[in-house]
Amino acid sequence: MEIQIENLCKRYTSGGNTINALDEVNLTIPANQIFTLLGPSGCGKTTLLRCIVGLESPDSGEIRIGGETVWSGKDNIYVPPEKRGLGMVFQSYAIWPHMTVFENVAYPLQTRKTDRNVIREKVAKTLAFVQLEGFEDRPATKLSGGQQQRVALARALVAEPKVILFDEPLSNLDAKLREETRKDLRVFLTELGITAVYVTHDRIEALALSDSIAIMDKGRIIEKGTPKDIYFRSEHHFVADFIGRTNLIDAVVTAQEPSATIVDCALGSLRCAPLPRTNPGDKVVLSLRPEFLRFSDSDKDGPTNRISGRIDSLVFIGEALEGEVLVNDTSLFVKVPPDSELKEGDPISITVSPANCLLLTK
C-alpha cells in the first residue's frame, strides 16, 4: 500500500526555541517495498514515523495511506492509530514479560475479540513464518534478544497489517545478531510483500535491508533512491559523506567532454564521471571512495587517473589495512588488502577510473 506525504510540517517548542522537526516533507513511499528513513540523530525520522502511525499530530500537510487521507491539516482529518491498519515494531521489543510467546503474539487478536480457533491458527502460522514454531509455551523473557525481536515482529504481523513500521528495531542487539536478524527480516518482508517503513541511523543496516532509502537532515528529505543510487550516485555532499567513508576534495571544472568532466584539484587534473549542467570555472566537490582506489599500474579498465603519493599511516584492522596517503599536502583515506606488504613511508601510485570519480555540486 502506497504512502503519500505532502508538505508535512511539525514544529516543537522547547525552552523558548522552535525546532522544525519536519520541514515541508514531501515523500511517496511505494507499495510493497522496504523503505528506509536514514539520517543523523535528531533529523526527524522518528517524528515522521510517528506522524504516519498517528501517534503525533503534524502542524500542516497531508498523509494518505493506500489513497485514504489519514491526516489533513486543511480538511481537518485525523484517523486514529488503531484505524490506520498499521503494525509497529519498536527499538525496545516491548513484548510482555509475564506472557508466553503464544500469549504475546495472540494479544492483538484477543483485543479484537477474534474467535479462539482463528487466533490459534493465525498465531501458529505467524510463528512458523518467523521460525519460532515450538516456542509457543516459552515465557517471553526466556528467549534470546533476536528471538524476542522475532516475537515482536510476529505480534506486529499477526493482525495482517497493510503497512508495517519499524523504529530502530535492531539497535538493542549485539553486532552479530543484528546482522543475522537484518538478513532474516529482509527475507520475511520480501516474502510478505507488504509496505515496510524502517527508521535507522545505521547506514549499513539501511544499505543491506532496503529497496529504497530516503536520507533526512534537519527535518527535510535530502535525497532518495535505491541503496546503490545513494551510495554510488549521490548528488549531495551531505549524502555522499553520510552514506559511507569517502574523500571529499574541492575541485574546479576545467573542461566538459561528452564522456567526462575534467577538474583541477589538489590531486592534479582528473577525468571524472560527467556532471551535467556545469561549466569551466564552476566549483565542485570530488568524492573518491577508498574502495575504488587501486594500487597497481594496471590499465586494463581503459583510461584511468593516476595519482602519486606516499603512505603516511597504515593500521591493520583484520579485513584490510586502513590508512592515509599524502598527495602533495592532501591526505587520502585508503583501504589496502590485508596481506599487502606496503608500509608507512613507501611511495605509492594510485589509479582510479573516471567512472569512480564522482562530482558533487557545492
Q: How many CA atoms lie within 13 A of 54 on its CB side?
A: 18
**Chain-centre distance of CA 276, in angstroms?**
27
Cell of 211: 529497496
Helix, strand, coil proportions of the chain in percent (round to 5)?
25, 40, 35
For residue 111, the minimal CB distance to ligand ATP (Å) is: 27
3 vs 288 by CB, closer to ligand ATP: 3
For residue 43, the minimal CB distance to ligand ATP (Å) is: 4
Cα dihedral across residues 120, 125, 128, 132: positive or negative: negative
Nearest to 65 by CA among 35, 86, 46, 87: 86
44 vs 169 by CB, closer to ligand ATP: 44
Strand partners, 313: 324
Strand partners, 20: 11
For residue 201, the minimal CB distance to ligand ATP (Å) is: 5
- Applying CB under 6 A, the residues found at the interface with ligand ATP are 12, 14, 19, 21, 39, 41-47, 201
127 vs 216 by CB, closer to ligand ATP: 216
41 vs 279 by CB, closer to ligand ATP: 41
1 vs 48 by CB, closer to ligand ATP: 48
For residue 3, the minimal CB distance to ligand ATP (Å) is: 17
Residues 6+ apart with CB under 8 A from 84: 53, 54, 65, 70
Residues 6+ apart with CB under 8 A from 213: 35, 36, 38, 206, 207, 224, 225, 226, 227, 230
Alpha carbon distance 18, 84 (integer Å): 29
44 vs 354 by CB, closer to ligand ATP: 44
For residue 220, the minimal CB distance to ligand ATP (Å) is: 12
46 vs 147 by CB, closer to ligand ATP: 46
Cell of 16: 523558548
Provide the phi-psi class of 42: left if phi over 0, else alpha when psi is between -120 and 50, else beta.
left
For residue 14, the minimal CB distance to ligand ATP (Å) is: 4
For residue 357, the minimal CB distance to ligand ATP (Å) is: 32
